[in-house]
Structure 1
Amino acid sequence: MEVIKVLAKRIIPCLDIRDGKVVKGTKFKDIKEIDNPVKLAKYYNDQGADELVFYDINASYEDREIIANIVKAVSEEIFIPFTVGGGIRSIDDFTKILRSGADKVSINSAAVKNPRLIKEASGKFGAQCVVLSIDAKRIDDRWSVFINGGRLDTKVDVISWAKKGVELGAGELVINSIDMDGVKKGYDTELIERLSNEVNVPIIASGGAGEKEDFYDVLNIGNGTGALAASVFHHKEIMIKDLKDYLYNKGISIRRV
Protein backbone atom coordinates (compact mmCIF):
# COMPACT_ATOMS: atom_id res chain seq x y z
CA MET A 1 0.00 0.00 0.00
CA GLU A 2 1.42 3.39 -1.01
CA VAL A 3 1.70 5.91 1.81
CA ILE A 4 1.04 9.49 0.74
CA LYS A 5 2.84 12.01 2.90
CA VAL A 6 0.94 15.24 3.45
CA LEU A 7 3.28 18.16 3.99
CA ALA A 8 2.41 20.40 6.91
CA LYS A 9 1.13 23.85 6.06
CA ARG A 10 3.19 26.77 7.33
CA ILE A 11 2.31 29.80 9.45
CA ILE A 12 4.78 32.59 8.77
CA PRO A 13 5.00 35.97 10.51
CA CYS A 14 6.40 38.72 8.30
CA LEU A 15 8.71 41.46 9.53
CA ASP A 16 8.72 44.47 7.22
CA ILE A 17 11.80 46.53 8.07
CA ARG A 18 12.37 50.23 7.47
CA ASP A 19 15.23 52.19 9.02
CA GLY A 20 16.02 49.26 11.29
CA LYS A 21 12.50 48.96 12.76
CA VAL A 22 9.61 46.59 12.11
CA VAL A 23 6.81 48.55 10.42
CA LYS A 24 3.38 47.86 8.92
CA GLY A 25 1.09 49.70 6.56
CA THR A 26 -2.08 49.26 4.53
CA LYS A 27 -1.94 48.56 0.79
CA PHE A 28 1.81 49.32 0.99
CA LYS A 29 1.08 52.84 2.35
CA ASP A 30 0.57 54.60 5.73
CA ILE A 31 3.62 52.90 7.25
CA LYS A 32 3.85 52.86 11.07
CA GLU A 33 6.56 51.55 13.40
CA ILE A 34 5.84 48.36 15.37
CA ASP A 35 8.92 47.01 17.19
CA ASN A 36 12.59 45.98 17.18
CA PRO A 37 13.21 43.19 14.60
CA VAL A 38 15.48 41.05 16.77
CA LYS A 39 13.10 41.15 19.73
CA LEU A 40 10.08 40.37 17.57
CA ALA A 41 11.84 37.57 15.69
CA LYS A 42 12.76 35.83 18.94
CA TYR A 43 9.17 36.21 20.17
CA TYR A 44 7.80 34.48 17.06
CA ASN A 45 10.41 31.74 17.27
CA ASP A 46 9.30 31.04 20.84
CA GLN A 47 5.59 31.23 19.92
CA GLY A 48 5.85 28.36 17.43
CA ALA A 49 6.02 30.08 14.05
CA ASP A 50 7.12 27.70 11.30
CA GLU A 51 9.27 30.28 9.52
CA LEU A 52 9.98 33.99 9.43
CA VAL A 53 10.13 36.37 6.49
CA PHE A 54 12.09 39.60 6.71
CA TYR A 55 11.61 42.32 4.07
CA ASP A 56 13.72 45.47 3.91
CA ILE A 57 10.83 47.28 2.25
CA ASN A 58 12.63 50.38 0.97
CA ALA A 59 15.92 48.82 -0.11
CA SER A 60 14.95 48.42 -3.79
CA TYR A 61 13.21 51.78 -4.00
CA GLU A 62 16.16 53.55 -2.35
CA ASP A 63 18.62 51.52 -4.47
CA ARG A 64 20.72 50.41 -1.52
CA GLU A 65 21.92 47.15 0.01
CA ILE A 66 19.87 45.29 2.60
CA ILE A 67 20.88 45.67 6.25
CA ALA A 68 23.04 42.55 6.73
CA ASN A 69 23.87 43.30 10.35
CA ILE A 70 20.19 43.04 11.33
CA VAL A 71 19.91 39.77 9.40
CA LYS A 72 22.85 38.37 11.36
CA ALA A 73 21.43 39.54 14.70
CA VAL A 74 18.05 37.96 13.95
CA SER A 75 19.58 34.66 12.77
CA GLU A 76 21.46 34.31 16.06
CA GLU A 77 18.22 34.45 18.05
CA ILE A 78 16.00 32.02 16.13
CA PHE A 79 15.98 28.33 15.24
CA ILE A 80 13.41 28.27 12.45
CA PRO A 81 13.88 28.89 8.70
CA PHE A 82 14.40 32.54 7.87
CA THR A 83 13.81 34.20 4.48
CA VAL A 84 15.23 37.63 3.71
CA GLY A 85 14.36 39.99 0.85
CA GLY A 86 14.60 43.59 -0.28
CA GLY A 87 17.38 45.18 -2.31
CA ILE A 88 18.76 41.87 -3.62
CA ARG A 89 20.27 42.59 -7.03
CA SER A 90 23.15 40.18 -7.56
CA ILE A 91 24.71 36.82 -6.71
CA ASP A 92 27.00 38.70 -4.33
CA ASP A 93 23.91 39.94 -2.48
CA PHE A 94 22.65 36.35 -2.21
CA THR A 95 26.01 35.27 -0.83
CA LYS A 96 26.11 38.08 1.73
CA ILE A 97 22.60 37.40 3.02
CA LEU A 98 23.05 33.63 3.23
CA ARG A 99 26.36 34.09 5.03
CA SER A 100 24.64 36.48 7.42
CA GLY A 101 22.39 33.63 8.53
CA ALA A 102 19.36 33.55 6.22
CA ASP A 103 18.16 30.16 4.96
CA LYS A 104 16.46 31.55 1.85
CA VAL A 105 16.66 34.74 -0.18
CA SER A 106 13.61 36.45 -1.64
CA ILE A 107 13.86 38.44 -4.85
CA ASN A 108 11.18 40.63 -6.34
CA SER A 109 11.96 43.79 -8.31
CA ALA A 110 15.45 42.65 -9.36
CA ALA A 111 14.08 39.37 -10.73
CA VAL A 112 11.62 41.23 -12.96
CA LYS A 113 14.38 43.49 -14.25
CA ASN A 114 16.88 40.65 -14.63
CA PRO A 115 15.19 37.20 -14.79
CA ARG A 116 18.59 35.52 -15.27
CA LEU A 117 19.28 36.26 -11.61
CA ILE A 118 16.79 33.52 -10.68
CA LYS A 119 18.58 30.96 -12.84
CA GLU A 120 22.05 31.98 -11.67
CA ALA A 121 21.10 31.92 -8.00
CA SER A 122 19.28 28.60 -8.31
CA GLY A 123 22.27 27.10 -10.08
CA LYS A 124 24.72 28.27 -7.41
CA PHE A 125 22.74 27.90 -4.18
CA GLY A 126 19.94 25.48 -5.12
CA ALA A 127 16.28 26.16 -5.87
CA GLN A 128 15.41 25.71 -2.19
CA CYS A 129 17.28 28.96 -1.41
CA VAL A 130 15.54 31.05 -4.10
CA VAL A 131 12.14 32.56 -3.29
CA LEU A 132 10.37 34.57 -5.96
CA SER A 133 8.23 37.22 -4.28
CA ILE A 134 5.53 38.80 -6.43
CA ASP A 135 3.58 41.95 -5.55
CA ALA A 136 0.24 41.42 -7.28
CA LYS A 137 -2.62 43.82 -7.91
CA ARG A 138 -5.85 43.02 -9.69
CA ILE A 139 -6.40 45.09 -12.82
CA ASP A 140 -9.82 44.34 -14.36
CA ASP A 141 -9.90 40.58 -15.00
CA ARG A 142 -6.20 39.84 -14.45
CA TRP A 143 -3.42 40.37 -11.93
CA SER A 144 -0.48 42.61 -12.71
CA VAL A 145 3.07 42.43 -11.30
CA PHE A 146 4.18 45.55 -9.40
CA ILE A 147 7.76 46.36 -8.40
CA ASN A 148 9.69 48.92 -6.32
CA GLY A 149 7.61 48.36 -3.20
CA GLY A 150 4.31 48.32 -5.09
CA ARG A 151 4.98 51.67 -6.75
CA LEU A 152 5.39 50.62 -10.40
CA ASP A 153 3.02 48.54 -12.54
CA THR A 154 5.09 46.43 -14.94
CA LYS A 155 1.97 45.34 -16.90
CA VAL A 156 3.32 41.78 -16.64
CA ASP A 157 0.73 39.08 -15.91
CA VAL A 158 1.26 37.51 -12.47
CA ILE A 159 0.45 33.95 -13.46
CA SER A 160 2.71 34.07 -16.53
CA TRP A 161 5.54 35.57 -14.49
CA ALA A 162 5.14 32.98 -11.71
CA LYS A 163 5.36 30.13 -14.23
CA LYS A 164 8.43 31.67 -15.84
CA GLY A 165 10.07 32.18 -12.46
CA VAL A 166 9.59 28.52 -11.56
CA GLU A 167 10.95 27.44 -14.94
CA LEU A 168 14.04 29.57 -14.28
CA GLY A 169 14.62 27.87 -10.93
CA ALA A 170 12.64 29.56 -8.17
CA GLY A 171 11.92 26.96 -5.50
CA GLU A 172 9.10 28.85 -3.81
CA LEU A 173 6.66 31.69 -4.47
CA VAL A 174 5.41 34.37 -2.09
CA ILE A 175 2.36 36.16 -3.48
CA ASN A 176 1.77 39.56 -1.89
CA SER A 177 -1.69 40.92 -2.62
CA ILE A 178 -1.53 44.72 -2.76
CA ASP A 179 -5.34 44.89 -2.84
CA MET A 180 -5.68 42.96 0.42
CA ASP A 181 -2.56 44.14 2.24
CA GLY A 182 -3.40 45.31 5.76
CA VAL A 183 -7.16 45.49 5.21
CA LYS A 184 -7.86 42.24 7.11
CA LYS A 185 -10.62 41.01 4.82
CA GLY A 186 -9.03 37.75 3.74
CA TYR A 187 -6.31 36.64 1.37
CA ASP A 188 -6.68 36.71 -2.41
CA THR A 189 -7.66 33.05 -2.31
CA GLU A 190 -8.71 33.06 -5.95
CA LEU A 191 -5.23 34.03 -7.11
CA ILE A 192 -3.53 31.48 -4.84
CA GLU A 193 -5.84 28.74 -6.11
CA ARG A 194 -5.15 29.70 -9.73
CA LEU A 195 -1.41 29.59 -9.12
CA SER A 196 -1.56 26.29 -7.23
CA ASN A 197 -3.00 24.73 -10.39
CA GLU A 198 -0.23 26.18 -12.57
CA VAL A 199 3.03 25.57 -10.69
CA ASN A 200 4.48 22.72 -8.65
CA VAL A 201 6.42 24.65 -6.01
CA PRO A 202 5.28 25.85 -2.57
CA ILE A 203 3.08 28.96 -2.67
CA ILE A 204 2.93 31.29 0.32
CA ALA A 205 -0.02 33.69 0.48
CA SER A 206 0.52 37.18 1.85
CA GLY A 207 -1.81 40.12 2.46
CA GLY A 208 -5.28 40.15 4.01
CA ALA A 209 -5.25 38.05 7.18
CA GLY A 210 -7.86 39.29 9.63
CA GLU A 211 -9.42 36.19 11.20
CA LYS A 212 -8.50 32.55 11.68
CA GLU A 213 -10.97 31.63 8.95
CA ASP A 214 -8.90 33.60 6.43
CA PHE A 215 -5.95 31.28 7.04
CA TYR A 216 -8.18 28.22 6.67
CA ASP A 217 -9.65 29.48 3.39
CA VAL A 218 -6.32 30.17 1.71
CA LEU A 219 -4.72 26.92 2.92
CA ASN A 220 -7.77 24.79 2.13
CA ILE A 221 -9.71 26.35 -0.76
CA GLY A 222 -6.68 28.14 -2.18
CA ASN A 223 -4.44 25.12 -1.57
CA GLY A 224 -1.66 27.45 -0.43
CA THR A 225 1.40 25.88 1.16
CA GLY A 226 1.63 28.55 3.81
CA ALA A 227 0.12 31.79 5.01
CA LEU A 228 2.16 34.85 5.84
CA ALA A 229 0.80 37.62 8.07
CA ALA A 230 1.98 40.64 9.99
CA SER A 231 -0.57 42.92 11.70
CA VAL A 232 -2.70 40.24 13.34
CA PHE A 233 0.42 38.69 14.86
CA HIS A 234 2.21 41.93 15.73
CA HIS A 235 -0.83 43.28 17.59
CA LYS A 236 -1.60 39.85 19.15
CA GLU A 237 -5.06 39.80 17.60
CA ILE A 238 -4.37 36.18 16.68
CA MET A 239 -1.97 34.03 18.70
CA ILE A 240 -0.02 31.45 16.72
CA LYS A 241 -0.82 28.57 19.09
CA ASP A 242 -4.55 29.34 18.96
CA LEU A 243 -4.42 29.59 15.18
CA LYS A 244 -2.65 26.26 14.83
CA ASP A 245 -5.09 24.54 17.17
CA TYR A 246 -7.97 25.95 15.12
CA LEU A 247 -6.46 24.81 11.81
CA TYR A 248 -5.66 21.35 13.19
CA ASN A 249 -9.23 20.93 14.40
CA LYS A 250 -10.44 21.94 10.92
CA GLY A 251 -8.38 19.15 9.35
CA ILE A 252 -5.41 21.14 8.13
CA SER A 253 -2.04 19.40 8.42
CA ILE A 254 -0.06 21.73 10.68
CA ARG A 255 2.91 21.54 13.05
CA ARG A 256 1.35 22.22 16.44
CA VAL A 257 3.04 24.19 19.19
Structure 2
Amino acid sequence: MLRPRIVPCLLVHGGGLVKTIGFKDPKYVGDPINAVKIFNEKESDELIVLDIDATAEGREPNFKMIGDLAVECRMPLCYGGGVKTAEQAKRIIGLGVEKVSISSAAIENPQLISQISDEVGRQSVVVVLDVKKKGGGYEVWTHNATRNTGRSVIDLAKEAERCGAGEIVVNSIDNDGQMKGYDLELARQIRQAVGIPMSALGGAGSLKDIGALLSACGVIGAAAGSLFVFKGMYRAVLINYPNPDQKDEIIRAAIGQ
Protein backbone atom coordinates (compact mmCIF):
# COMPACT_ATOMS: atom_id res chain seq x y z
CA MET A 1 0.00 0.00 0.00
CA LEU A 2 1.26 3.47 -0.89
CA ARG A 3 1.95 5.71 2.06
CA PRO A 4 2.48 9.45 2.31
CA ARG A 5 6.09 10.59 2.08
CA ILE A 6 7.74 13.31 4.18
CA VAL A 7 10.49 14.71 1.98
CA PRO A 8 13.24 17.24 2.76
CA CYS A 9 14.01 19.52 -0.19
CA LEU A 10 17.53 20.96 -0.32
CA LEU A 11 18.57 23.88 -2.53
CA VAL A 12 22.13 24.11 -3.84
CA HIS A 13 23.53 27.55 -4.67
CA GLY A 14 27.20 28.34 -5.17
CA GLY A 15 28.10 24.80 -4.08
CA GLY A 16 26.43 25.13 -0.68
CA LEU A 17 22.99 24.58 0.76
CA VAL A 18 20.74 27.62 0.97
CA LYS A 19 17.18 28.47 1.90
CA THR A 20 15.16 31.18 0.23
CA ILE A 21 12.05 33.22 1.01
CA GLY A 22 9.87 33.77 -2.03
CA PHE A 23 12.73 32.41 -4.15
CA LYS A 24 14.88 35.38 -3.08
CA ASP A 25 17.71 36.18 -0.64
CA PRO A 26 19.34 32.73 -0.34
CA LYS A 27 20.68 32.09 3.16
CA TYR A 28 23.58 29.66 3.55
CA VAL A 29 22.62 26.74 5.76
CA GLY A 30 25.44 24.22 5.34
CA ASP A 31 27.21 21.60 3.26
CA PRO A 32 25.15 19.28 1.03
CA ILE A 33 27.09 16.12 1.90
CA ASN A 34 26.79 16.72 5.65
CA ALA A 35 23.06 17.28 5.28
CA VAL A 36 22.65 14.02 3.38
CA LYS A 37 24.52 12.13 6.11
CA ILE A 38 22.21 13.57 8.77
CA PHE A 39 19.07 12.72 6.83
CA ASN A 40 20.44 9.19 6.41
CA GLU A 41 20.70 8.87 10.18
CA LYS A 42 17.20 10.24 10.62
CA GLU A 43 15.81 7.76 8.07
CA SER A 44 14.21 10.28 5.76
CA ASP A 45 11.64 8.82 3.35
CA GLU A 46 13.24 10.51 0.35
CA LEU A 47 15.38 13.51 -0.53
CA ILE A 48 15.01 16.19 -3.20
CA VAL A 49 18.10 18.19 -4.21
CA LEU A 50 17.63 21.13 -6.57
CA ASP A 51 20.56 23.05 -8.04
CA ILE A 52 18.99 26.50 -8.41
CA ASP A 53 22.00 27.91 -10.30
CA ALA A 54 22.15 25.48 -13.22
CA THR A 55 19.16 26.58 -15.28
CA ALA A 56 19.52 30.25 -14.35
CA GLU A 57 23.15 30.18 -15.53
CA GLY A 58 22.40 28.07 -18.59
CA ARG A 59 24.79 25.27 -17.64
CA GLU A 60 24.49 21.52 -17.46
CA PRO A 61 24.12 19.55 -14.23
CA ASN A 62 27.12 19.26 -11.91
CA PHE A 63 27.66 15.53 -12.36
CA LYS A 64 30.54 15.41 -9.87
CA MET A 65 28.34 16.84 -7.12
CA ILE A 66 25.46 14.57 -8.06
CA GLY A 67 27.69 11.49 -7.92
CA ASP A 68 29.07 12.52 -4.53
CA LEU A 69 25.55 12.98 -3.15
CA ALA A 70 24.32 9.68 -4.59
CA VAL A 71 27.23 7.74 -3.05
CA GLU A 72 26.36 9.07 0.41
CA CYS A 73 22.56 8.92 0.12
CA ARG A 74 20.85 5.85 1.61
CA MET A 75 17.32 6.97 0.70
CA PRO A 76 15.65 7.56 -2.68
CA LEU A 77 17.22 10.68 -4.19
CA CYS A 78 15.61 13.08 -6.66
CA TYR A 79 17.90 15.58 -8.41
CA GLY A 80 16.89 18.62 -10.44
CA GLY A 81 18.72 21.49 -12.10
CA GLY A 82 20.00 22.07 -15.61
CA VAL A 83 18.61 18.87 -17.14
CA LYS A 84 17.77 19.52 -20.80
CA THR A 85 18.31 16.18 -22.53
CA ALA A 86 17.42 12.53 -22.08
CA GLU A 87 21.13 11.72 -22.23
CA GLN A 88 21.80 13.91 -19.19
CA ALA A 89 18.94 12.26 -17.32
CA LYS A 90 20.26 8.78 -18.15
CA ARG A 91 23.72 9.78 -16.91
CA ILE A 92 22.26 11.06 -13.63
CA ILE A 93 20.28 7.85 -13.07
CA GLY A 94 23.47 5.94 -13.83
CA LEU A 95 25.17 7.74 -10.94
CA GLY A 96 22.71 6.16 -8.51
CA VAL A 97 19.94 8.76 -8.42
CA GLU A 98 16.39 7.37 -8.40
CA LYS A 99 14.52 10.33 -9.92
CA VAL A 100 15.34 13.26 -12.19
CA SER A 101 13.29 16.43 -11.99
CA ILE A 102 12.79 18.89 -14.82
CA SER A 103 10.97 22.20 -14.83
CA SER A 104 11.55 24.96 -17.39
CA ALA A 105 12.90 22.49 -19.97
CA ALA A 106 9.72 20.40 -19.65
CA ILE A 107 7.53 23.45 -20.17
CA GLU A 108 9.51 24.69 -23.16
CA ASN A 109 9.70 21.21 -24.71
CA PRO A 110 7.05 18.77 -23.41
CA GLN A 111 8.49 16.05 -25.67
CA LEU A 112 11.50 16.00 -23.35
CA ILE A 113 9.28 14.39 -20.71
CA SER A 114 8.47 11.56 -23.08
CA GLN A 115 12.09 11.20 -24.17
CA ILE A 116 13.36 10.92 -20.60
CA SER A 117 10.52 8.59 -19.64
CA ASP A 118 11.40 6.28 -22.55
CA GLU A 119 15.07 6.36 -21.55
CA VAL A 120 14.90 5.84 -17.76
CA GLY A 121 11.31 4.83 -17.01
CA ARG A 122 8.27 6.89 -16.10
CA GLN A 123 8.73 6.32 -12.37
CA SER A 124 12.01 8.27 -12.52
CA VAL A 125 10.62 11.42 -14.19
CA VAL A 126 9.47 14.27 -11.94
CA VAL A 127 8.11 17.56 -13.27
CA VAL A 128 8.41 20.51 -10.88
CA LEU A 129 5.93 23.36 -11.34
CA ASP A 130 6.72 26.61 -9.51
CA VAL A 131 3.54 28.66 -9.20
CA LYS A 132 2.13 31.99 -8.08
CA LYS A 133 -1.46 32.93 -7.43
CA LYS A 134 -3.16 35.05 -10.04
CA GLY A 135 -6.79 35.95 -9.56
CA GLY A 136 -8.68 32.79 -8.78
CA GLY A 137 -6.04 30.50 -10.27
CA TYR A 138 -2.33 29.80 -10.41
CA GLU A 139 0.27 30.46 -13.09
CA VAL A 140 3.59 28.69 -13.57
CA TRP A 141 6.88 30.59 -13.42
CA THR A 142 10.37 29.42 -14.36
CA HIS A 143 14.05 30.39 -13.93
CA ASN A 144 13.81 30.89 -10.15
CA ALA A 145 10.49 32.74 -10.44
CA THR A 146 11.82 35.38 -12.85
CA ARG A 147 9.84 34.34 -15.95
CA ASN A 148 6.06 33.99 -16.08
CA THR A 149 4.89 31.37 -18.55
CA GLY A 150 1.35 32.76 -18.37
CA ARG A 151 0.08 29.18 -18.30
CA SER A 152 -2.23 27.52 -15.82
CA VAL A 153 -0.67 25.05 -13.40
CA ILE A 154 -3.60 22.69 -13.97
CA ASP A 155 -3.06 22.66 -17.74
CA LEU A 156 0.68 22.07 -17.37
CA ALA A 157 0.22 19.34 -14.75
CA LYS A 158 -2.17 17.47 -17.04
CA GLU A 159 0.17 17.94 -19.99
CA ALA A 160 3.10 16.57 -17.99
CA GLU A 161 1.07 13.50 -17.05
CA ARG A 162 0.05 12.90 -20.68
CA CYS A 163 3.66 13.19 -21.80
CA GLY A 164 4.92 10.55 -19.37
CA ALA A 165 5.79 12.23 -16.07
CA GLY A 166 5.75 9.84 -13.14
CA GLU A 167 5.28 12.53 -10.50
CA ILE A 168 4.35 16.19 -10.17
CA VAL A 169 5.90 18.48 -7.56
CA VAL A 170 3.94 21.69 -7.14
CA ASN A 171 5.90 24.46 -5.43
CA SER A 172 4.23 27.60 -4.08
CA ILE A 173 6.45 30.63 -4.73
CA ASP A 174 4.16 32.77 -2.58
CA ASN A 175 4.58 30.44 0.42
CA ASP A 176 8.28 29.60 -0.07
CA GLY A 177 10.15 30.05 3.22
CA GLN A 178 7.17 31.64 4.99
CA MET A 179 6.68 28.64 7.33
CA LYS A 180 2.97 29.48 7.72
CA GLY A 181 1.51 26.38 6.10
CA TYR A 182 1.02 24.90 2.65
CA ASP A 183 -1.32 26.35 0.05
CA LEU A 184 -3.90 23.61 0.57
CA GLU A 185 -6.18 24.79 -2.22
CA LEU A 186 -3.31 24.57 -4.70
CA ALA A 187 -2.46 21.07 -3.52
CA ARG A 188 -6.09 19.96 -3.74
CA GLN A 189 -6.41 21.27 -7.29
CA ILE A 190 -3.36 19.35 -8.48
CA ARG A 191 -4.41 16.20 -6.63
CA GLN A 192 -7.78 16.31 -8.41
CA ALA A 193 -6.24 17.13 -11.81
CA VAL A 194 -3.75 14.26 -12.13
CA GLY A 195 -3.69 10.57 -11.34
CA ILE A 196 0.07 10.18 -10.89
CA PRO A 197 1.88 10.67 -7.55
CA MET A 198 2.39 14.27 -6.48
CA SER A 199 4.22 16.23 -3.83
CA ALA A 200 3.52 19.70 -2.46
CA LEU A 201 6.28 22.12 -1.51
CA GLY A 202 6.34 25.59 -0.02
CA GLY A 203 5.23 26.88 3.37
CA ALA A 204 5.56 24.06 5.90
CA GLY A 205 6.51 25.43 9.30
CA SER A 206 5.48 22.59 11.62
CA LEU A 207 4.53 18.94 11.64
CA LYS A 208 0.92 20.10 12.03
CA ASP A 209 1.21 21.71 8.60
CA ILE A 210 2.23 18.34 7.16
CA GLY A 211 -0.75 16.73 8.88
CA ALA A 212 -3.08 19.35 7.44
CA LEU A 213 -1.72 18.70 3.93
CA LEU A 214 -2.18 14.95 4.23
CA SER A 215 -5.68 15.40 5.65
CA ALA A 216 -6.56 17.60 2.67
CA CYS A 217 -5.00 15.47 -0.07
CA GLY A 218 -4.45 11.93 1.20
CA VAL A 219 -1.49 9.91 0.01
CA ILE A 220 0.94 12.46 -1.41
CA GLY A 221 4.44 13.69 -0.68
CA ALA A 222 4.81 16.46 1.88
CA ALA A 223 8.02 18.21 0.88
CA ALA A 224 9.65 20.99 2.90
CA GLY A 225 12.85 22.99 3.11
CA SER A 226 12.83 25.48 5.99
CA LEU A 227 11.07 23.06 8.33
CA PHE A 228 13.97 20.61 8.11
CA VAL A 229 16.89 23.06 8.21
CA PHE A 230 15.72 25.65 10.78
CA LYS A 231 14.70 25.34 14.40
CA GLY A 232 12.81 27.80 16.58
CA MET A 233 11.45 31.30 16.08
CA TYR A 234 14.91 32.71 15.33
CA ARG A 235 15.46 30.20 12.51
CA ALA A 236 18.65 28.75 13.91
CA VAL A 237 20.21 26.33 11.42
CA LEU A 238 19.65 22.75 12.60
CA ILE A 239 19.01 19.76 10.34
CA ASN A 240 15.99 17.91 11.73
CA TYR A 241 13.37 15.37 10.71
CA PRO A 242 10.52 13.59 12.54
CA ASN A 243 11.38 10.27 14.12
CA PRO A 244 9.49 7.11 13.03
CA ASP A 245 6.93 7.38 15.85
CA GLN A 246 6.21 11.00 14.98
CA LYS A 247 5.81 10.13 11.30
CA ASP A 248 3.41 7.30 12.07
CA GLU A 249 1.39 9.53 14.39
CA ILE A 250 1.09 12.25 11.72
CA ILE A 251 -0.02 9.78 9.07
CA ARG A 252 -2.52 7.96 11.29
CA ALA A 253 -4.07 11.21 12.48
CA ALA A 254 -4.29 12.55 8.92
CA ILE A 255 -5.45 9.59 6.85
CA GLY A 256 -5.75 6.62 9.19
CA GLN A 257 -2.94 4.46 7.75
Q: Quote the offset at 1:139 in angstroms.
A: 0.7
Q: Quote the offset at 1:234 in angstroms.
A: 0.9
Question: Which of 205, 217, 223 is the matching residue for 1:222?
Answer: 217
Mapped to 2, the partners of 1:23 and 1:253 lie a distance apart of 35
Question: Which of 42, 49, 56 is the matching residue for 1:54?
Answer: 49
Give the CA RMSD over aligned residues. 1.5
Distance 1:185 1:102, change over 3 A: same
Partner residue in 2 for 1:247: 250
Structure 1, unpaired ranges of 5+ = none
Q: Quote the offset at 1:239 in angstroms.
A: 3.4
Mapped to 2, the partners of 1:173 and 1:224 lie a distance apart of 13
Question: Which of 185, 189, 208 is the matching residue for 1:190?
Answer: 185
Q: Number of matched residues?
A: 249
Question: Which of 203, 210, 217 is the matching residue for 1:208?
Answer: 203
Mapped to 1, the partners of 2:17 and 2:249 lie a distance apart of 27
Q: Is the 8 A contact 1:54 1:84 kept in 2?
A: yes
| Per-residue deviation, residues 69-110 of structure 1 (Å, max 9, x unmatched) | 111111111211000001111112102211222111000010
Mapped to 2, the partners of 1:93 and 1:74 lie a distance apart of 16
Q: Quote the offset at 1:47 in angstroms.
A: 0.5
Q: Quote the offset at 1:232 in angstroms.
A: 1.5
Partner residue in 2 for 1:121: 116
Percent identical residues: 37
Structure 2, unpaired ranges of 5+ = 233-239
Distance 1:143 1:243, change over 3 A: farther
- SS of the residue 1:175 aligns to: strand
Mapped to 1, the partners of 2:256 and 2:9 lie a distance apart of 21
Q: Is the 8 A contact 1:187 1:208 kept in 2?
A: yes
Which structure: greater helix fraction? Answer: 2
Q: Quote the offset at 1:67 in angstroms.
A: 1.3
Mapped to 2, the partners of 1:155 and 1:106 lie a distance apart of 21
| Per-residue deviation, residues 217-250 of structure 1 (Å, max 9, x unmatched) | 1111133511111111112456321641440451
Is 1:69 paired with 2:72? no
Residues 148-187 of structure 1 aligned to structure 2 (within 5 Å): 148-187=143-182
